[in-house]
Amino acid sequence: MIEATALSKRYGDTLAVDDLTFSIRPGQVTGFLGPNGAGKSTTMRLMLGLDSGGGRTTFDGRAYRDLPHPTRTVGALLEAKAFHPTRSARSHLRMLAAAEGIPARRADEVLALVGLDQVAKKAPKGFSLGMGQRLGLAAALLGDPEVLFLDEPANGLDPQGIIWLRSFLKTYAAGGRTVFVSSHLLAEMAQMADHLVVVGRGRLITDTSTKHFIEHASRTSIVVRSPEAQRLGPLLAQEGADVSVEEDGALALTGIEQARGGDLAFGAGIPLHELTTRVATLEEAFLEATAGAQEYEAGTGVPS
Amino acid sequence: MKGALAYEWVRLTTVRSTWVLSAAALGVAVLAALAFTLAPSSASTGVPNALGDQRAYATVLTAGAQLTPLLMGLLGAFAFGHEYRYGTIRPALTALPRRAPVAAAKVLTVALWAAVVAALTVALAAVVALLLGGGRFDPGVSLTAGPTPRMALGVVLYIVLSALVGLAFGWLFRNIPAAVSLLLVIPTIVEPLLKIVLSLDALEPVAGIGRFLPFTAGAQLYAYSTEGDPGVPEAFRSDLSPLSGGLIFGLLTLVLLAVAYLLFQRRDA
């Protein structure tokens, strides 16, 4: 169990991470979502003690720097292509393995695991972004860690690579281990993560199961505007619709067909000014949520 | 600490620049020794005993001092410079979250490597002098005569300190071009220029501080003679003892390392 409490980080006047508290459970993939600049990478660096800032993060009760075997506990991929261009992939991994006395043959194992065994002895300067990501992932796997901490690991991967990564991480988590993976690719995340921590402008937007997030966010609703909304609402509810009144007085309906709603209103002689279907995708919900946070952050507009 | 040393050893030995710089240092020492040893003999130049005395012999041994400090300074600058340049500092500090051992391991490894390379330059120069210059030195000339042992040790120390100054520059600026420029410019341009400025008549009262410029002072570690030549302008006079000169250069190194370390503990990786 990883617990991040009241994380904060300030760069000059900008609060990049603002009082972020969440926890990450083992046995599932936790997605860390947010638009570019939301503070995801900064948060991950704060959690690992690479950057200094407010708050604390514990890994089963211990701060990262107090872990007796950091590489065997947490495997982190923070940046693609964090390697010296002329040091071979194998030497790069041997170097990181040496820090914790992990035998050099483990470097070959993880290279094979990520599919880089053919280029193990090559200088990685010619590596594509995807190959760089694979090498970074190999480095994270060196200690066969309990926790994987991956910042945008799908960046630059080809479709096969993404599918492989997805199943790999799901299997990893299914074995009772912890996977914390950031991304701005929502569709990808929806297929991979069991749980989501969503941030915008450094603040926590939601910390919920992916299932809940998607159901809540992507449910298609019907928007009805009518001068007699107060009469229409109960009528629709009787027909099994789930009715909620929006701030501007419009009714948002779920559980009823658009045509059926229109027929009911017509039958009761209720005039309609609008009858539309609103499809909220995960992306839209996410953008809405993060835009709200942005507005809140700036403190100038009225939260929508 | 063991892990940090193991990391650092693999880091240092698996990057090409380490081998290129070290080979260059050895090559320069051998070439310089050859050039001194095989210089036109006294018969052809008309200068008696051009190569023969103990001073010439000691000069051959420390010939590598001309370029090796810079080469090992670069090696030092890369210790942190490469980590920041290529982003490996984050994986490094993720594997080794305690920063003090990381810093200590880098300082120790670079110092040791530079010491071995420096010692080899002296040893290779000695071999060249013995094999090729044997007949042309005075009979009394030896490795242990006069200030020669102190010079040999001094040049090793000077090279080690130069490597650590390079390491501190790379660490402070986290930028290889900045570190390399300083390494190049301070000993070869800044200090000589300052000495020229100090030799101006108007600055006569403070001309003496020229001898305390760090690289100038440090070079006294392998100076043959420590008696300042009264014929030389005050600003150019190097009459510090090897110990004082070494202490000044050592102090500069220590201060740079200390500042870099304090920043390293506080800065984001």
Q: Pull the structure tokens for residue B24.
A: 């260059």
Q: State residue A279's pLDDT score.
A: 59
Section B232-257 average pLDDT: 88
How far is it, in rounded angstroms, from Cα B65 to Cα B229? 22
Segment 66-105 of chain A within 8 Å of chain B by CB: 67, 70-71, 74, 76, 78-79, 81-88, 91-92, 94-96, 98-101
Q: State residue A295's pLDDT score.
A: 42
Section A24-32 average pLDDT: 95
From chain A, pick out residues whose CB is under 8 angstroms from the CB of B105. none
- Chain-centroid distance, C-alpha B42: 31
Q: State residue B201's pLDDT score.
A: 82
Instruction: Provide the percentage of residues in chain B whose pLDDT is more than 70.
Output: 93
Q: State residue A300's pLDDT score.
A: 44
How far is it, in rounded angstroms, from Cα A96 to Cα B11? 9
Closest residue by Cα to residue B255 from B154, B171, B191, B197:
B171
A147 touching B, CB under 8 A?
A: no
A52 touching B, CB under 8 A?
A: yes
Residue among A50, A88, A98 minimizing CB distance to B268: A50
Residue among A52, A84, A99 minimizing CB distance to B3: A99
Q: State residue A145's pLDDT score.
A: 96
Quickly state the pLDDT bin for A249 (edges 50, 70, 90). Answer: confident
Cβ separation of B91 and A76 shorter than 8 Å? yes
Residue A51 and residue A45 in contact, taking contact as beta carbons nearer than 8 Å = yes
Residue A57 and residue A64 in contact, taking contact as beta carbons nearer than 8 Å = yes
B104 touching A, CB under 8 A?
A: no
Section A220-235 average pLDDT: 88
Q: Which residue has the tokens 């017509």?
A: A266
Tens digits of residue pLDDT in B125-176: 888 887 877 667 777 777 777 888 899 999 999 999 999 999 999 999 999 9
Nearest CA in chain A to B266: A52
Beta strands in A96-220 (DSSP E): 147-151, 178-183, 195-200, 203-209
Residue among B90, B92, B97 minimizing CB distance to A79: B90
A68: pLDDT strictly greater than 80: yes
Q: State residue B48's pLDDT score.
A: 44
How far is it, in rounded angstroms, from Cα B93 to Cα B91? 6
Cβ separation of A70 and B3 shorter than 8 Å? no
Interface test mutation site (partner B, options A84, A87, A127, A147, max chain B beta carbons within 10 A): A84
Q: State residue B159's pLDDT score.
A: 96
Residue among B6, B86, B266 minimizing CB distance to A84: B86
Cβ separation of A45 and B90 shorter than 8 Å? yes
Half-sphere exposure of A136 (CA within 13 A, CB side): 31
How far is it, in rounded angstroms, from Cα B165 to Cα B108? 13
B78 touching A, CB under 8 A?
A: no
Q: State residue A25's pLDDT score.
A: 95
Give chain A's largest Cα–Cα span. Answer: 79
Nearest CA in chain A to B81: A84
Residue among A83, A98, A101 minimizing CB distance to B86: A83
Interface test mutation site (partner A, options B15, B16, B80, B94, max chain A beta carbons within 10 A): B94
Interface test mutation site (partner A, options B1, B10, B109, B262, max chain A beta carbons within 10 A): B10
Q: State residue B237's pLDDT score.
A: 75
B46: pLDDT strictly greater than 60: no
Comparing A5-9, A53-57, A182-186, B186-190, the range with the smallest average pLDDT is A182-186
Residue A282 and residue A216 in contact, taking contact as beta carbons nearer than 8 Å = no
The ipTM value here is 0.88
Section B6-21 average pLDDT: 96
Tens digits of residue pLDDT in B192-214: 999 888 888 888 888 888 889 99
Tens digits of residue pLDDT in A134-174: 999 999 999 999 999 999 998 888 888 899 999 999 999 99
Residue among A52, A78, A139 minimizing CB distance to B266: A52
Q: State residue B107's pLDDT score.
A: 98
Tens digits of residue pLDDT in B61-107: 888 788 999 999 999 999 999 999 999 999 999 999 999 999 999 99
Cβ separation of A64 and B16 shorter than 8 Å? no
Sorted by sequence, the CB contacts under 8 Å of residue A275 that are 6+ apart come out as A222, A223, A224, A225, A258, A261, A262, A265
